Amino acid sequence: MDALADEPVPAWGVPQDKAADRARSSDTYTEDIPIAIMAAALAASTFLPWYEGQSGIDVSVSAWSSGTWGPIMFFLGFGSFALVLLRRFGVRLSLPIEEALLHELAGWVALAGGVIKSRYRPGGEGLLGISWGLWVGLGSAFVLAFLAGRMAPQAPLVRRPRWYREKGGGVAAIVILLVIAGSAVFGAINKTPPLGFAPTPSGDLPGLVRGKIPDCAEGFPVPSIVRPVQGVEQPCQAHLQSDRPAAEVVAAMRQSLQQAGWTATVGETGGTTTLNITSPKCATAAVVGAEGGSVAVVAFGICTTPTPGASPT
């Protein structure tokens, strides 16, 4: 009996949670660097253009500026990147669940958010189309979730009790709280800006003017309920905005054109109402609904053949 008592404790007698924590503190995975790259790409994608104007409307919106989901996706990518970076630099982390599961959760949640954002776009119907930044975000989120699944395929979905009291639990708690608090705060306060036409830097477009019709469009009759926002000389365009609905703006523009002796026909293209002007100048005006009213772009020098059934002005 004494000989048995003096025998060393077998490895399986060591408390498993502490042994696993010691192993995890020095673990590295072949998926670490790819996961960090995809997490960084996911966070960066939220500042890329996710939406762009349709029907000649010169406007671009990033995921971060498009409402709640943009900041959530940014902080999910930031959290995944921070976890890999800290562990690779030897910082011990005690997490509530396996790290691989946290990366996978971030990827799938971000992917779901991106799909939602692709379906429910800011602004009025037909105003914005999908831009390339959204595909970067969706791709990064999917690859992040896929790599996390390969990182530890046998990781159990079990919550560790008192994880925040273990060594490294404080650091892990700070990262998790930053992700949650950042997503909640910025997700709540971020709102889509009015989708009119933000001023464009003067060096970007030749002959840019703000608050008026450009000289190349001199004489174009602007109704009183519409205000010029900006215009450019090359190509000749006038960007207009109104706090009235699109249908009311179209009616007011038709009346102004008719009173000024201009000839135009009304058409419909992809949910956007257009005015095809053929005299005394050639132009195409596109009017769409937006938050708080409607916006319009008048592109001069473009003569469009009236479509069958179009209503003449």
pLDDT in tens, 1-13: 444 445 454 443 3
Of 90-94, 193-197, 198-202, 209-213, give the lowest mean pLDDT range: 198-202
State residue 197's pLDDT score. 46
Of 83-97, 243-257, 268-282, give the lowest mean pLDDT range: 268-282
Is residue 146's pLDDT more than 90? yes
Against a cut of 0.85, is the pTM above it? no
pLDDT-derived band at 55 (thresholds 50, 70, 90) equals low
Asked whether the CA dihedral 4, 6, 11, 17 is positive or negative, the reply is positive
Q: CB-based contacts of 119: which residues, under 8 Å, 6+ apart?
A: none
Residue 208 CB coordination number (10 Å): 17
State residue 16's pLDDT score. 44
pLDDT in tens, 259-277: 888 888 887 765 677 888 8
- Nearest residue to 190 via CA among 291, 71, 42, 76: 71
Instruction: Name the more confident of 287 and 80.
Output: 80
Measured distance CA(178)–CA(172) in Å, rounded:
10
pLDDT in tens, 12-23: 334 444 444 444
Is residue 77's pLDDT more than 90? yes
State residue 144's pLDDT score. 94
State residue 230's pLDDT score. 80
Of 127-131, 180-184, 214-218, 289-293, give the lowest mean pLDDT range: 289-293
pLDDT in tens, 230-251: 888 777 888 888 888 888 888 8
First to last CA, the chain: 108
